[in-house]
Amino acid sequence: MSVAAKTGAGLVQITVPDLPGGAAEAVLERWHVGPGDQVTPEDVVAEVTVGRIRIEIEAGHSGLVEHLLAQAKGAVIAPGAPIAVIAARGEPDARREMSPLRAAAAPCPDLAEPPRPFRSPAAGAAPPPEPDETARVSMRDALRGALVAEMRADDSVLVLGENAAEQGGAYKVLQGLADMFGPRRVVDTPRLLQGVAGLAIGAAFAGLRPVVELRSFSLALQMIEQIVHSAAKTHYVTAGALHCPVVFRGPTGLAARSGAQHSQDVAALFARIPGLSVVQPSDAGDAGGLLRAAIRAPGPVIFLEHELLYGSDAPAPAQDAPLPRIGAARLLREGKDVTIAAIGLGVRHALDAAHALEADGISAEVIDLRSLRPLDSASVIQSVRKTGRCVTVEEGNPVGSIGDHLAGILMREAFDWLDAPVISCTNADVPMPYAANLEQLAQVGVTDVIAAARAVAYR
């Protein structure tokens, strides 16, 4: 892939191409060239990643590399953003004119400006706040901040994961942690998943608080025996003699075009297991607090992060904001006609649907469940007593879904307040297909939620 944008004076910018799945950003992995290198159009100049997908960026033009705009490995870059400047072949003067030292005098002011689309997560800094705008934080930075805070506060907290130290882990959440805490506390593990899972659980039995990062929660299915038997059940069957304060965290849910074994939601699978807590933040503002609460929890926590939300941002919570309680849902929008209880990316769909329904005169209340075990059914019941109707939204498959579980609870405990059957919006009951159109058909989306809300409101 390559995009070369023509600029003045024989200079061209190499820009980030459109990303798979319409992703909003990619992470710079490495440069193959440096200033002064001669390139031809098909030369690969850089590699970036979007999630697990590695993309090579080609020069798209012949010439000399002038300078690189995004230097730092791990820099986050958006589609269309320039990443390097090359001087078209045979125009050496222009190259000199554009040298970084003289950038201020360059004839292309847009190139001379600081490369705005870049920010370096390694520096741990969110982009400087605009005037009249509250500070915002990305999901990635919020999660990293939570890990840093808990690791600073407690030496028994450590991180284990594939490429945790070397490459900053999955979606670069761990970027910079190895520099701050060293290899003792940021541990690179091989992909020996049963072994690593058992080892982390044993370390927790012995008093540590390990946070295990998974490249994808699909890999947790190779760990599931240890998670279900050793992490979840041992505290109970030893009458509390052994404690297992371990967190398994990492990406889950729809991963665009990744296929059935890497694009799936495992929330309901783990939520069935007594002894586990299962948490999924739906936005960047809530993610850090939830992760800190998970690390402090006395037992094992499955902490699910949505593949598509790492780059999303939200107003940063106040430094002294109290940590959320695991097991408490969050009311995101008040309404009176229908309750929409949602999880993870489903919360986005719920909020978008609520907005659309408003135009039709349907007032939707949106609840972010955020903890699937314990499940805050009391908050949903309370809401349904007001609205009389409920729709649930999650990305898992329908059989044994959180939504159907909640529907059962509402039928038993809020029957007299229900004016319509509960509708659970889930993905289709198929393994996630690859083809773009089938993938679209298989996944729950905002139109499903709108249709369900209209149906329960008989509108």
Partner 1 sequence: MPSDTAADAPVTTEELTGFLRDMLLIRRFEEKAGQLYGMGLIGGFCHLYIGQEAVVTGLSAAARPLDRSITSYRSHGHLLACGVPPAAIMAELTGRASGLSGGKGGSMHMAAPERGFFGGHAIVGAQVPIGAGLAFADRYAGEDRVSFVYYGDGAAQQGQIAETYALAQMWNLPMVFVIENNRTASPGSPKQVELTALAAAHGIASEVVDGMDVLAVRQAGRRAAQRCRAGRGPALLEMRTHRYRGHSLADPAGQHSRDDTRRIRAERDPVEHVRRRLRDRGTGEDTLKRIDDAVREEIAEAARLARDAPEPRDDSLFDHLAMVQE
Contact residues for partner 1, defined by CB under 8 A: 158, 184, 189-190, 192-208, 225-226, 229-230, 234-242, 274-277, 293, 296-301, 325-327, 374
Find the helix or strand (DSSP H, E) in which 271 lies.
helix 267-271
Q: Strand 76-77 to strand 26-31: parallel, antiparallel, or no bridges (unpaired)?
A: antiparallel
Separation in Å, CA 349 to CA 104, 278, 436, 449 = 45, 21, 19, 7
- Beta strand ranges found along 116-197 (DSSP E): 136-138, 157-161, 186-188
φ, ψ of residue 283 to 5 degrees: the values are -150, 165
Q: How many other C-beta atoms lie within 10 A of the C-beta of residue 109?
A: 10
Q: Which of 53, 44, 58, 1 is nearest to 26 (CA)?
A: 53
Amino acid at 287: A
Question: Pseudo-torsion of CA 358, 364, 369, 372, nearest 10°?
Answer: -110
Residue placing its CB nearer to partner 1 in the complex, 193 or 366 = 193
Find the helix or strand (DSSP H, E) in which 29 lies.
strand 26-31
Q: Would you list the DSSP string of 293-332?
A: HHHHSSS-EEEEEEGGGTT-EEEPPPTTPPPPPTT--EEE
| Minimal distance, residue 267 CB to partner 1, in Å | 16
Task: Give residue 189's Cα distance to chain centre.
Answer: 21
Using the structure block, give the residue that is written with the tokens 């590699």. 47
Cβ pair 439, 433 in contact under 8 A: yes
Residue placing its CB nearer to partner 1 in the complex, 157 or 314 = 157
- Three-class secondary structure of residue 279 per DSSP: strand
Token digits of residue 161 = 């994961």
Residue placing its CB nearer to partner 1 in the complex, 229 or 355 = 229
Task: Give residue 455's Cα distance to chain centre.
Answer: 31
Cβ pair 294, 269 in contact under 8 A: no
Token digits of residue 5 = 């944008």
- Helical spans, DSSP H, in 283-419: 284-296, 345-359, 377-387, 402-413
Q: For residues 230 and 242, give the distance between their C-alpha atoms in angstroms, rounded to a whole number.
A: 10
Residue placing its CB nearer to partner 1 in the complex, 208 or 356 = 208
| Minimal distance, residue 240 CB to partner 1, in Å | 4
Q: Which of 281, 282, 215 is nearest to 248 (CA)?
A: 215
Token digits of residue 25 = 């950003």
